[in-house]
Amino acid sequence: MLTYELKKQPGVPLYEALYRCIRRDILSGQLRAGEKLPSKRALAENLELSKVTVEAAYNQLLSEGFIRSEEKRGYYVEAVEHGQSASPTPVAAEAQAAEFPVDLTANGPAQFPFSVWSRLQRKVMLDQGLQLLSPMPNRGCLALRQAIAAHLAGFRDLHVSAEQIIIGAGTDFLYNLLVQLLGREKCYAVEEPGYQKIRQIYQAAGVSCVGARLDREGVRLDDLERASVLHFSPAHHFPTGLITPMRRRLALLEWASAGDRWIIEDDYDSEFRFNSHPVPAMQSLDRAGRVIYMNTFSRSLAPAIRISYMVLPPALMERFRQSFGFYSCTVSSFEQYALAEFLTQGYFEKHINRMRKFYKSRRNRILEELERCPFAERLTVLEQDAGLHFLVRVDTPRSDGRLTELCAQAGIRVRCLSEYYSGPVPKTAQHCLVVNYGGVREENIPNALMRLTQFVGNGRLQSGENML
Amino acid sequence: MLTYELKKQPGVPLYEALYRCIRRDILSGQLRAGEKLPSKRALAENLELSKVTVEAAYNQLLSEGFIRSEEKRGYYVEAVEHGQSASPTPVAAEAQAAEFPVDLTANGPAQFPFSVWSRLQRKVMLDQGLQLLSPMPNRGCLALRQAIAAHLAGFRDLHVSAEQIIIGAGTDFLYNLLVQLLGREKCYAVEEPGYQKIRQIYQAAGVSCVGARLDREGVRLDDLERASVLHFSPAHHFPTGLITPMRRRLALLEWASAGDRWIIEDDYDSEFRFNSHPVPAMQSLDRAGRVIYMNTFSRSLAPAIRISYMVLPPALMERFRQSFGFYSCTVSSFEQYALAEFLTQGYFEKHINRMRKFYKSRRNRILEELERCPFAERLTVLEQDAGLHFLVRVDTPRSDGRLTELCAQAGIRVRCLSEYYSGPVPKTAQHCLVVNYGGVREENIPNALMRLTQFVGNGRLQSGENML
């Protein structure tokens, strides 16, 4: 039985959400040609939707020829070329696009060096053979830890030993490990605004969290009184893009050094920077050994690859050795060795450089489109030279909810800055769109902006309101 | 600087442990020919060993030609053919064997279908292309969950929906997830004796644990009074091999149904069974929806592949959906799709059948060797028709510690049943060797047993004591 988790999306009626899910599965081949769809009643019950909603979704699929209806027998999937074909790329892209023509919430990447990766995987199996089957240190294989250490030295001017590095299957896992390492009784400060996910993970791990508000220089020290662990991204705050200046970094290091306090430096995204040089990492300024550096290849290489890592200060690594030796490594040996080769042979740097160029041109194209659009004078782009997004302030009396709703109706999926607050949202943070362009298909942008414009005065706007 | 975690092994002097680590790294190529070893003093300081210990290790390596000493310059790695070569198998095996000629504590596997796996990985990249880069459901990709559901139905007579399955990077990760799902305030019962690791993981996750002792039929109900979660392996208890009979299974299900209680059925190893049919899983008897079924491919396929899964009762899956949607999947998409193909194309079943034959002959050969050895009449093999180990009771006045020490001196690494108790060890559980033959090289067994015999009366036994 088809089962979907239909997320409530502002401005997207349920029937449309359901229609998109089924359409996506048909395009991706998860629903095969000739397969019978569940009856409207059965599906409505299974998804706890009204039969009318399911009916509306089926009708849309019928009208677009994704399914056919057979007298007294039910609905069947039509033959559509799908992602299982040898050249799936356009279809796969289509499948993604089926969600929203312009999705400003998706994270890239748009490209991945499949052939190189595939070759390295074969090489690893040939070179390592049965060694791949022998036990792996729970911190990850030495070859990868050494490759990461070399990468950090060359690319981030971070000089650490492979012995300080722990490899894990994604940052979610490493956050949980850190809670066990630093202690569950501690209070963890997370950025406000920031990724709500980080707060959710810490809370699920059973620790108390406080929000650390930001001023122009980053995390406010006066919000750290209760906290003894600070999790933040000095190189590039999400979503404001703020880069913490040296003065504040030193102040925060001083805070951490005064007691049993720790700083978790989340350096995600630091690879994508366009004009300036990378900001030196906190970890490289840390004399007292209070900074834990974290980064992930899931973001810089591909979400498909669940390899993240953290660099522990020696004291913490000793604690890990002594108390957590029973854990097994969470990352496949095959991919650890493949990534080690990918790094040491210089493919990673090549990939990053290629993607940086790619993202830069995409970003510029989006900025041009925004300048060109009819209501450009209502938009102020808050540019930051880091990461894969920027903010656009919209001069409008409308609520952020209504704003995203209108965009959604025009086929633009976007979030507002206000959605990244867990507490009250300051006036200055309202009417700001977070333009996350890593995963967007920019060729769709002109049309979407056009549609957004056309809404002015048409039926889909509430009577009396104009576009923005 | 070389850093090793030198585990204390009964009967293995520190210098020998260090010598083995360095030798292993030379054989595996992690230490390359011509590489300079740290000075004895530096290494001694780094490892917190006495200089004498390091000296002894270096001397042994010198005498065996793994390193050379250069006047006034230090020690250098000699050129040894190692695992980086195109045909690494014997060397890799040698590298493993360097630890102990006969290691009865290692878990296999001895074989892995590298070429098939490598081909499937290429196929996945070709078929899926950019789809591999689009977001993955946090439960794991549908294709793999469907393949696992089909596998469980055909192989384990378990009929579950792909929607109930959660994929995770190893069971350690899933245990931690379960604690968040079931609640940290609950008391978790683990088998006594049993894998100490399981208790350690639950305790690290911040929950209280009690040991549930075993009688002839398995976990004792009267030990579950305080507990509301039971983690156990009804199909094959480790290390006793006990199979929980139907009567006790039903009693435990009744226990679980009477309140907010849960049973975690850890079905690891159930693939390896030689004569009888597999015992039906608890989950298939569970009417009340209180059983969480778990298994892992790290054990049945290769530890290199960190893919485990659990089958949640619908109510728990709903809880997961509602409360843990923020987590990302921890397993690489590439390997999820590759494993899905591996399962659906029947390679997994072929592999299991091949390995079952392989292990069976290995087990029989080991049993023959034991019958043939000079002190056979002192040995009673406690055979169980499941899993990759059996117990050998030794008729001896010696302590278990001294027993494993003697074996270690003969080059046999083995653990005693008593090592799997966290509490007091009953008399009946003493003098039992846990013969874990998954990773052993049986061709070394005759020699090892011979050496064990020769110790009788030679200098390495304490005066007055005979072999066993």
- Please state, in angstroms and rounded to a whole number, the distance separating the CA atoms of residues B229 and B202: 11
The secondary structure of A85-142, three-state, reads CCCCHHHHHHHHHHHCCEECCCCCCCCCCHHHHHHHHHHHHHHHHHHHHCCCCCCCCH
Select the highest-mean-pLDDT range: A322-326, B71-75, B128-132.
A322-326
Å between A367 CA and nearest CA of chain B: 25
Select the highest-mean-pLDDT range: A204-213, A275-284, B87-96, B126-135.
A204-213
pLDDT at site B109 = 67
- Which tops the pLDDT comparison, B285 or B97? B285
Residue B37 has pLDDT above 70, yes or no: yes
> Which residue from B minimizes the CA distance to A97?
B134
Work out the percent of chain B whose per-residue pLDDT is above 90: 44
Q: Give percent helix, percent strand, percent coil of chain B, each to the nearest 5.
A: 45, 15, 40
- Which tops the pLDDT comparison, B90 or A246? A246
Enter the pTM of the model: 0.78
- Please state, in angstroms and rounded to a whole number, the distance separating the CA atoms of residues B263 and B313: 11
Chain B residues touching residue A47 (CB < 8 angstroms): none
- Do the domains at A14-77 and A90-110+350-457 have one common CATH topology? no
Task: Report the complex ipTM.
Answer: 0.77
Of A91-100, A346-355, B281-290, B332-341, least confident by mean pLDDT is A91-100
| 3-state SS class at B359 | helix
Inter-chain residue contact B306 with A172, CB threshold 8 Å: no
Q: Pick A330's closest partner by Cβ from B142, B173, B321.
A: B173
Q: Pick B326's closest partner by Cβ from A126, A176, A197.
A: A197
- Which tops the pLDDT comparison, A73 or A173? A173
pLDDT at site A94 = 39
Chain B residues touching residue A90 (CB < 8 angstroms): none
Of A79-93, A409-423, B130-144, B388-402, least confident by mean pLDDT is A79-93
Of A324-333, B317-326, B371-380, least confident by mean pLDDT is B371-380
Q: Give residue for tokens 């040939």.
A: A126
Inter-chain residue contact B129 with A83, CB threshold 8 Å: yes
Q: Pick B96's closest partner by Cβ from A84, A122, A134.
A: A134
Residue A73 has pLDDT above 60, yes or no: yes
Residue B155 has pLDDT above 50, yes or no: yes
Chain B residues touching residue A167 (CB < 8 angstroms): none
pLDDT at site A363 = 87
Contact predicate A352/A432, CB 8 Å: no
C-alpha distances in Å from residue A59, one per residue of A28, A56, A64, A66, A405: 20, 5, 9, 10, 24
C-alpha distances in Å from residue B254, one per residue of B251, B283, B287, B289, B310: 5, 13, 10, 11, 21
pLDDT at site B330 = 96
Chain A residues touching residue B331 (CB < 8 angstroms): 169, 306
Give the pairing of strands A412-413 and A308-311.
Answer: unpaired
For B310-327, write each residue's pLDDT tens digit: 999 999 999 999 999 999
Mean per-residue pLDDT for B27-52?
Answer: 84
How many whole angstroms from its chain centre is CA A41?
A: 36
pLDDT at site A72 = 82
Mutant choice from A2, A20, A26, A134 vs B, greatest count of B C-beta within 10 A: A134
Number of other CB atoms surrounding residue A71 within 10 Å: 5
- Please state, in angstroms and rounded to a whole number, the distance separating the CA atoms of residues B134 and B376: 60
Work out the percent of chain A whose per-residue pLDDT is above 90: 45
Q: Pick B304's closest partner by Cβ from A83, A88, A333.
A: A333
Inter-chain residue contact B184 with A206, CB threshold 8 Å: yes
C-alpha distances in Å from residue A37, one per residue of A41, A61, A98, B5, B422: 11, 12, 19, 57, 54
Q: Which amino acid is at B118?
A: S
pLDDT at site A459 = 42
- Which tops the pLDDT comparison, A127 or A85? A127
Residue B32 has pLDDT above 50, yes or no: yes
Mutant choice from A8, A114, A184 vs B, greatest count of B C-beta within 10 A: A114
Residue A60 has pLDDT above 90, yes or no: no
> Which residue from B minimizes the CA distance to A334?
B304
Residue B141 has pLDDT above 50, yes or no: yes
Inter-chain residue contact A83 with B30, CB threshold 8 Å: no
Inter-chain residue contact A128 with B83, CB threshold 8 Å: yes
Mutant choice from A8, A326, A341, A440 vs B, greatest count of B C-beta within 10 A: A326
Q: Pick A321's closest partner by Cβ from B5, B136, B303.
A: B5
Number of other CB atoms surrounding residue B71 within 10 Å: 5
With the C-alpha atoms ordered A28, A30, A34, A38, is the resulting torsion angle positive or negative? negative
Work out the percent of chain A whose per-residue pLDDT is above 70: 88
> Which residue from A minimizes the CA distance to B132?
A304
Mean per-residue pLDDT for A410-436?
Answer: 91
Work out the percent of chain B whose per-residue pLDDT is above 70: 88
Mean per-residue pLDDT for B55-69?
Answer: 78
Q: Pick A170's closest partner by Cβ from B88, B180, B330.
A: B330
A163: phi then psi, degrees, rounded to nearest 5: -75, -15
Using 50, 70 and 90 to split pLDDT, how confident is the model at A227?
very high
Of A375-379, B147-151, B325-329, least confident by mean pLDDT is A375-379
Mean per-residue pLDDT for A294-298?
Answer: 94
Q: Give residue for tokens 């078929």.
A: B127
pLDDT at site A451 = 78
For B213-258, write each residue's pLDDT tens digit: 999 999 999 999 999 999 999 988 889 888 898 999 999 999 999 9
> Which residue from B minimizes the CA distance to A96?
B134
Q: Which helix (H) or strand (E) holds A380?
A: strand A379-382
Inter-chain residue contact A306 with B298, CB threshold 8 Å: no
Inter-chain residue contact B303 with A133, CB threshold 8 Å: yes
Q: Which residues contact A270 (CB under 8 A, 6 or more apart)?
A: A156, A235, A236, A278, A279, A281, A295, A386
Among A253, A172, A188, A187, residue whose Cα is nearest residue A218: A253
CB pairs under 8 A between A and B: 195
Mean per-residue pLDDT for A238-254?
Answer: 91
Q: Report how far apart the first and last C-alpha atoms of chain A are (Å, whole number).
A: 42
Mean per-residue pLDDT for A11-36?
Answer: 79
Domain B114-347 classification at class level: alpha beta
Using 50, 70 and 90 to split pLDDT, how confident is the model at B198?
very high
For B67-116, write each residue's pLDDT tens digit: 888 888 889 888 765 433 333 333 333 344 456 888 888 776 668 899 89
Q: Indicate the angle between helix axes B314-323 and B171-182, nearest 10 degrees.
A: 90
Looking at every residue in chain A, the average pLDDT score rounds to 85
Inter-chain residue contact A5 with B325, CB threshold 8 Å: yes
Using 50, 70 and 90 to split pLDDT, how confident is the model at B439?
confident
Using 50, 70 and 90 to split pLDDT, how confident is the model at A336?
very high
Of A138-142, A347-351, B384-388, least confident by mean pLDDT is B384-388
pLDDT at site A205 = 95
Q: Which residues contact A224 (CB under 8 A, 6 or more apart)?
A: A189, A212, A230, A255
pLDDT at site B83 = 35
- Please state, in angstroms and rounded to a whole number, the distance separating the CA atoms of residues B249 and B234: 8
Of A286-295, B24-33, B156-165, least confident by mean pLDDT is B24-33
Using 50, 70 and 90 to split pLDDT, how confident is the model at A80?
low
Å between B172 CA and nearest CA of chain A: 7
Residue A456 has pLDDT above 50, yes or no: no
Q: Which helix (H) or strand (E) holds A266?
A: strand A262-266
Domain B90-110+350-457 classification at class level: alpha beta
Residue B382 has pLDDT above 80, yes or no: yes
Q: Report how far apart the first and last C-alpha atoms of chain B are (Å, whole number).
A: 42
Inter-chain residue contact B326 with A93, CB threshold 8 Å: no
- Please state, in angstroms and rounded to a whole number, the distance separating the CA atoms of residues A251 and B289: 53
Chain A residues touching residue B307 (CB < 8 angstroms): 332
- Please state, in angstroms and rounded to a whole number, the distance separating the CA atoms of residues A438 and A436: 6
pLDDT at site A315 = 93
Mutant choice from B114, B163, B300, B319 vs A, greatest count of A C-beta within 10 A: B114
Domain boundaries, chain B: 14-77, 90-110+350-457, 114-347
| 3-state SS class at B32 | coil
Using 50, 70 and 90 to split pLDDT, how confident is the model at B9?
low
- Which tops the pLDDT comparison, A264 or A95? A264
Looking at every residue in chain B, the average pLDDT score rounds to 85
Mean per-residue pLDDT for B118-129?
Answer: 89
Assign domain A14-77 to its CATH architecture. Answer: Orthogonal Bundle (1.10)
Select the highest-mean-pLDDT range: A131-145, A261-275, B64-78, B286-300.
B286-300
